[in-house]
Amino acid sequence: MIILSLHSALQDSGAALFDDYRLRAAVQQERLTRRKGDGGLPREALAEVLEIAAVPADRVGALVLSRGHYPLSYFRGASPVSVEFGAESLGDLAMTLAASGALHSARIFDSRALLADLGLAPDLPVFFSNHHRAHALSALFHTDWDEALVYTADGGGDNLHYSHHVLKKDRLDCLFGDDRWLRAKRRVDSLGLLYGMATEALGFRPNRHEGKLTGLAGYGKARIADAIAGHFTVGADGRIDSDFATLAAMRTRLRELIAGHAPEDVAASVQEALERVMLASVKRLLDRHGVRRLALAGGVFANVRLNRLLAEAVDEIFIFPGMGDEGLPIGGALDYLLARDGLPAWLAERHRLDDVFWGRSYDDAIGAMLEKAPGVVRLAGDPAERAAGLLARGLAGALYAGRMEFGPRALGNRSIMASPADAAINQRLNERLNRSEFMPFAPCVLAEDAAAVFDITPANAYACRFMTVTTAVRPAWRARIPAVVHVDGTARPQIVETARQPLYADILRRFKAKTGLPVLVNTSFNAHEEPIVNRPEECLRALLEDRVDFVVTVDGVYTRS
């Protein structure tokens, strides 16, 4: 069965397409509209996943929807809780359910009208997924564990900010976070929202620039961490609570606490408070239920420093690479499959994740476009050899090959590469990309070299394939690859496997042969406040605008003439 899954929201909208348990395509709306974090009904993403998979709309057998934000015209029988989105208003489906006392979306949402507008069959079954369950299942499905704690945390969804599930003895029990809490009083307990408030208070954009705060934290002292963390408690059941009556009270108190403190100390304090409370909650649940593996999803777990501490508490950790709400279409489809087939069949279909290359490939178009572009020349020779030579000379190049990555991390198909030998490359590249970053760039490393350079362990190795956790850099390497080492001696590596990314791996291998360095800089192929490059014309524009010195494709290496 073809399953189409959509997340429609104020930000991070997207679509995914499954053929039963096989994920055929997944695309974030922002990659198509070129508006960072774009929201709204993801019509473009819907069309894209159908086209990628060469599936006509009439073959779709089920539609899965998140309880997000939709045009007001689809609401019936209840006054929708509405919010402004650009020039229009959207109804918040989850909050409208909570306000109306309904538990079933079909009572207040006109699915048939939506199906008609999307060009789908009028009798198509429509399934509404729970926000935190979708997050949880996206992480759990991509493991092969018999027992695990599945923990989600974010700024909010379906009236909650967390969920806790335990897989044990072929049972998946929800301890906290399912629809039983949809109509409960809204809890004021979100560390994710607190982190966003601190991001905003420091002059950055919330829900966008939290990573800047994480990087800045390494330069400060956690002078007010006790005062911030003191507002939160962790119960015997692992649930986080706070003494704030409202979110407004949380924001006001946070601003009072941080007044007069240096930005780096504020960042360090908020980071420390997040780590302290989250670690206490997770450890309490691990100990209470006797499990030693941890699956994570939700925007809070974009925080790679937090993830490192959590990895140290378990035998193995996995963070779903699309950990933010962009991952909900994938988790939503998995929620539908679980409801359709039951837990034993669902568990039997699980597998470890190979990659997140679920968008479109332009390998058949990018070479021809670059060949014809005025002012661009192709360099003769083997692409990997030429690229490695240019990188060894200190130039920065973009790798544009294969299918588009999904999620916030560039993992080699749309990445900018550079030598890690000179820390000044960070400032030079940030200036060319109009970025202001406090963290060094992330490194990529071949699987056979990873443990020699970084503190790769059985607990973090799987997560390190997707750049979702930091590790210590071995002391012998820190001075040799300073461009990828943070002030605290850590890095956020991506482990590269030859079988999955042969061109990427070949460049790494040849660069090592020339320089003795088994590591390259890997940063996303985009300028500041732009989504990662998707179409060939965006790649060409970046080259012509001097964002990079050269572009590597499966066809060759291209530079400006």
Q: Give 310-336 pLDDT, tens digit per residue.
A: 999 999 999 999 999 999 999 999 999
Between the alpha carbon of residue 548 and those of residues 328, 364, 378, 413, 477, the distances in Å are 33, 22, 15, 15, 26
Element (DSSP H or E) covering residue 7: strand 2-7
Same domain, 365 and 470: yes
99, 129, 159: which is the final residue of a domain? 129
Same domain, 93 and 146: no
Query: Given strand 376-379, what is the order of strands in its sheet?
Result: 376-379, 557-560, 550-552, 397-400, 414-418, 519-524, 442-446, 494-496
Question: Are residues 554 and 399 in contact, defined by beta-carbon separation less than 8 angstroms?
Answer: no
Structural domain harbouring 50: 2-129
- 388-431 pLDDT, tens digit each: 999 999 999 999 999 999 999 999 999 999 999 999 999 999 99
CATH code: domain of residue 143: 3.30.420.40
Same domain, 283 and 369: no
264, 293, 320: which is the final residue of a domain? 320
67, 100, 129: which is the final residue of a domain? 129
Three-class SS state of 209: coil
The answer to whether residue 341 sits within a structural domain is no
Same domain, 180 and 84: no
- 463-498 pLDDT, tens digit each: 999 999 999 999 999 999 999 999 999 999 999 999
- Total tally of structural domains belonging to the chain: 3
Between CA 229 and CA 231 the distance in angstroms is 5
Q: What is the mean pLDDT of residues 364-375?
A: 96
How is residue 390 written in tokens? 């240019």
The answer to whether residue 327 sits within a structural domain is no
Q: Please calculate the CA angle 10-12-352 and round it to the nearest 5 degrees.
A: 145
Same domain, 294 and 435: no
Element (DSSP H or E) covering residue 282: helix 263-289
The answer to whether residue 382 sits within a structural domain is yes
* Confidence label for 434 from pLDDT (cuts 50, 70 and 90): confident
The answer to whether residue 211 sits within a structural domain is yes
Radius of gyration over every alpha carbon of the chain, rounded to an integer in angstroms? 23
Same domain, 108 and 209: no
Question: How large is the angle between the packed helices 502-515 and 383-392, nearest 10 degrees?
Answer: 40
The answer to whether residue 336 sits within a structural domain is no
Same domain, 114 and 145: no
Between CA 350 and CA 332 the distance in angstroms is 15
Q: What is the mean pLDDT of residues 37-46?
A: 97
Q: What is the mean pLDDT of residues 273-293?
A: 98
Is the whole model's pTM more than 0.85, yes or no?
yes
For residue 170, give the DSSP letter. Answer: T
Q: What residue type is 149 in one-letter code? A: L
Task: Give 122-126's long-range contacts (Cβ < 8 A, gap of 24+).
Answer: 124/60, 124/61, 124/62, 124/63, 125/61, 125/62, 125/63, 126/62, 126/63, 126/64, 126/65
Same domain, 400 and 526: yes
Same domain, 64 and 161: no
- 232-253 pLDDT, tens digit each: 999 999 999 999 999 999 999 9
Same domain, 125 and 174: no
